[in-house]
Structures are given as structure tokens and as C-alpha cells.
Amino acid sequence: MKHLIDPTDLSVQEISEIIAVAEDIIANREQYSDVCRGKKLATLFYEPSTRTRLSFTAAMMELGGNVLGFADAKSSSVSKGETVQDTVRVINCFADIIAMRHKVEGAPLAATEVSSTPIINAGDGSHSHPTQTMTDLLTIKRELGTLNNLTIGLVGDLKYGRTVHSLIKAMTRYENTKFVLISPPELALPDYIKRDVFDRLGVEYRESNDIESVIGDVDILYMTRVQQERFTDLDEYERVKDCFVLDAAKMRLAKERMAVLHPLPRVNEIAIDVDTDPRAAYFRQVENGKFVRMALILKLLQWQKEDGKEFQQHGEAMSCKCPNPLCISNLEPVRPRFENVDGVVRCVYCESQADFL
Ligand code: CP
């Protein structure tokens, strides 16, 4: 069984295969219109979504398969207290592959422990969003022709932004990637990512307080929304929400060959006068999301039949509690598991550092 919970569940070779299939789908769409006939995708969305859920739906429909599921957990037996793992055991009776979005971090990983069909993480809390990352990689490849030797500016909510965390993990596996981090101090990238990813891998990064002084250096400007739903203090949200706005005046300082990406939805962070700039790639990025999800569904169903494509469950079950109150291991009957990576002990579900050990 192969699942996609984190971008690093795929090797660089597997990512290249998925991107190649997506590019072939774009070039030869009619050849793929029937390849998933008789297969069913379940979309289990416990948190709101437009792009991810509908692009998964469109992807399976364009492959000739069918889709079932829920867009609001309140309309399902989750509202009666059914756990993630029991829900997945039930959906296994109805579907061949499952895409799950959940506000609780680690919920899709907990699902893999009981599932007889592939699980795709469609976003879990502030933790990870690997299919957005696959979308971003395909978009970068199509806009700039390469995934190597790129300087990527990450703007906005780098603390809670799961798309940012997943993109960093993915891009550090390509040659000579550099990052510029542009955020208010309240929304800075978590120290553990700077330490465990950048410092451990020797990836160059710098931080900036404004877009203007760095926009001329970047090949990709990755804008993000400040996510109101992740704040417990709404005054703090009001203080930081409009910190960094990209507009046409700032775009005049950018390289001629660069691309602006945004996982969307946007609120105020990209002015509409940027939309007509040929370097504004965020709506092309949305369509790439459908193509890459088509490729991912195909490859996961194909890999399910192959030997040697096992999903690696990490860590060791322990009786200690994860320090993150939003972790699945604290909210549902899921046994806490931890792993030691280079001397740092982390919860396998949400990656929170477990200082108590
Ligand atoms: N990019 C993204 O995840 O969008 P949705 O929340 O609309 O799915």
C-alpha cells in the first residue's frame, strides 16, 4: 500500500514520474478519459475547500471514474462522534482511494493505520498539504522549465501555512534551492523547520521585512493568505493580516522571467492589478492541480498493485502525550507515536517536538 501523507513519502524519482504523467495528460487528454472506469474516489473533507476537493472530483471524472464523499463533516456520522479510523474502515467498503482533508493534524496518517485503500492527505491543519505541493512543483516546472537552481521567496503566513511547510520540504531536495522568508515576526517560519530542514541540509535562506527589497532576487514569489481560522487571538490576526501586499508597482521590480504563485484563496495579499501580468501564474496553478491529481490517482492505484511500494510507518508507540493539543493523538483513540531524527524526538502525526523525553 502506498499513501501520500507528506511530500517526502514520494522519492524525487516518483515525483518526476507523477509530473511526467501530468504533462502527458495535458498533451493527450483523450487518451486518459477511460483509464479509471469502475474506480471510485472518496473525498472526505472535514474542513472547507474549493480547489482541492473540486480538482480531485474533476480529476477522477476526467479519468472516467466516479466520486463519492462529503464536503462537510456535519452531514456525516462524524457529527455523531464517529472517529477518523472508523470512518475510513467504512469508506474502504465503498471506494478504491480516499482523499482526506482534516483540521486535526495527523488525521490522514492515523487513517493509513487502518486503511485497505490508498489515503491522500488533502491538507491536515497547519501541518502538511502534499497535493498542493505537487501542484506547485508542476507549475514551477511549466513556468520556468526546471526545479533546480531556484530562489524562492515565501511571503505571508509562514507559521501556520501548511502549503509553505510542504513546499520547503519538497524543494530542498532539488539542486541549489535558496529561500527568502518574508513575514511579520508573529508569523515567522517555525524554528524547527529552520533548524531541522535548512540548517541540517545546508540550505541557504535569509529573512526580510519587506517584499520590495527582495523581489528582484527571486525566481518564484510564493504568496500566502494570513489564515484567520488558525488564530485564537483575533486582535493578533487584525494586526498582521495586511502586512504584505503584492501590487503592480512591486512587480515592476521583479525579474522578467519569474512566476508569482499562490495556493489560493487570496484575501488582500495580491492586488487585482497583478492578475493581468504574464508572470501571475496562480490561476494556471489551479488547473495544474487537476492534472497533477489525475496523475497522482493513476500512479497510486498502479503502485497499489506493485510489490515493493510499501508506505513506511515511522516511529514507536509510547505512553507519553504529544504536546500539540491539535494533534490527532490527543483528540481520538490513536496511540501516540514518536520518532528520533538526529537526536530530536518528534510526534509522527504532527511533527511537534516532544521536549519531555
Ligand atoms: N489551495 C487550496 O488548498 O485551496 P482550497 O482550500 O480551496 O482547497
How many domains, the chain? 3
Pocket around ligand 1: residues whose beta carbon is below 6 Å from it?
49-52, 123, 132, 263-265
232 C-alpha vs ligand 1 centroid, how far in Å?
A: 21
Which strands form 337-341's sheet, in the order they lie side by side? Answer: 316-317, 337-341, 344-347
Alpha-carbon distance of 246 to 240, in angstroms, equals 15
Ligand 1: which of 50, 53, 267 to mutate, most ligand atoms within 8 Å of CB? 50
Indicate which atom in ligand 1 lies nearest the CA of residue 50: 7
Residue 261 belongs to domain with CATH number: 3.40.50.1370
Give the pTM: 0.94
The residue contributing the CA closest to ligand 1 atom 1 is 263
Give me the pLDDT at residue 124, please.
Answer: 95
Strands 259-261 and 316-317: unpaired
23 C-alpha vs ligand 1 centroid, how far in Å?
A: 22
Give me the pLDDT at residue 146, please.
Answer: 98
* Amino acid identity, position 357: L
Judge if 266 and 209 occupy the same domain. yes
Judge if 53 and 157 occupy the same domain. no
C-alpha cell at 271: 492586488
Q: Residue 276 domain-assigned?
A: yes
Q: Residue 310 domain-assigned?
A: no
Judge if 180 and 153 occupy the same domain. yes
Judge if 76 and 88 occupy the same domain. yes
Alpha-carbon distance of 350 to 56, in angstroms, equals 24
Give me the pLDDT at residue 243, please.
Answer: 79
- Is 325 exposed, middle or buried, given 0-12, 13-18 or 19+ CB atoms closer than 10 A? exposed
Q: Residue 314 domain-assigned?
A: no
Give me the pLDDT at residue 343, please.
Answer: 82
Judge if 167 and 111 occupy the same domain. no
Give me the pLDDT at residue 280, please.
Answer: 98
Judge if 138 and 262 occupy the same domain. yes
Q: Residue 245 domain-assigned?
A: yes
pLDDT in tens, the chain (357 residues): 799 999 999 999 999 999 999 999 999 999 999 999 999 999 999 999 999 999 999 999 999 999 999 999 998 998 999 999 999 999 999 999 999 999 999 999 999 999 999 999 999 998 999 999 999 999 999 999 999 999 999 999 998 888 999 999 999 999 999 999 999 888 899 888 898 899 999 999 999 989 999 999 999 999 998 877 777 788 877 877 777 899 999 999 999 999 999 999 998 899 999 999 999 999 999 999 999 999 999 999 999 888 667 787 888 888 889 999 999 999 999 999 999 887 889 999 999 988 765
Ligand 1: which of 120, 128, 132 to mutate, most ligand atoms within 8 Å of CB? 132
239 C-alpha vs ligand 1 centroid, how far in Å?
A: 24
The residue contributing the CA closest to ligand 1 atom 3 is 52
The residue contributing the CA closest to ligand 1 atom 5 is 49
Q: Residue 312 domain-assigned?
A: no
Residue 332 belongs to domain with CATH number: 2.30.30.20
Judge if 327 and 183 occupy the same domain. no
Give me the pLDDT at residue 30, please.
Answer: 96
Number of Cα atoms under 13 Å in the Cβ half of residue 115: 30
Q: Which of 36, 18, 42, 164 is nearest to 100 (CA)?
A: 42
Q: With beta carbons less than 8 A apart as the criterion, state whether 337 and 315 touch.
A: yes
Indicate which atom in ligand 1 lies nearest the CA of residue 135: 1
Judge if 277 and 185 occupy the same domain. yes
Judge if 272 and 155 occupy the same domain. yes
Judge if 155 and 262 occupy the same domain. yes
Judge if 261 and 341 occupy the same domain. no
Indicate which atom in ligand 1 lies nearest the CA of residue 55: 8
Q: Which of 123, 74, 130, 126 is nearest to 101 (CA)?
A: 123
Indicate which atom in ligand 1 lies nearest the CA of residue 129: 3
* Amino acid identity, position 230: R
Indicate which atom in ligand 1 lies nearest the CA of residue 48: 6
Q: Residue 1 domain-assigned?
A: no
Judge if 142 and 275 occupy the same domain. yes
Residue numbers of the domain that contains 342: 320-356
